[in-house]
Amino acid sequence: MGLLDGMMGNASKIDADKIQQEFSQILAAGEQVEHAYQLIRDYFVFTNKRLVLVDKQGVTGSKVEYHSFPYKSITHFSIETGGHFDLDAELKIWISGTAVPVQKRFNKKLSIYEVQSVLAGYVLR
């Protein structure tokens, strides 16, 4: 992914092996990164056991928050595509026990359908 793509809000696929190494401290024994996407500074990481949303914070991005969601706790999800005037697309994920969904906004150039398809593949197993 180029820096300009990231700044424009385009998500791009990241090499799973690179993320496997980067996440070695937070992965459980036997857990494998299978898909990963970067959106500006944040990541969507799909492992064989859970979805990890990585939220890099601050000016330097050195403060990082990891949100882990076992696939079985995802009750439903939705995508909202951008229109002619609202160019952003949005992914919402509802987690059992929470009333408010996790929301991520994507630039219209992103194929939000790919991320949704990967998510569906894990949740609907």
> Please, how many CA atoms are within 13 Å of residue 8, restricted to the half-sphere of its CB?
11
Give me the mean pLDDT over the 26-55 stretch: 93
pLDDT tens-digit readout, 5-14: 444 445 678 8
What's the one-letter identity of residue 1? Answer: M
Q: Is the pTM of this model over 0.85?
A: no
Sequence-distant (6+) residues with CB within 8 A of 108 are 82, 87, 88, 89
pLDDT at 54 over 70: yes
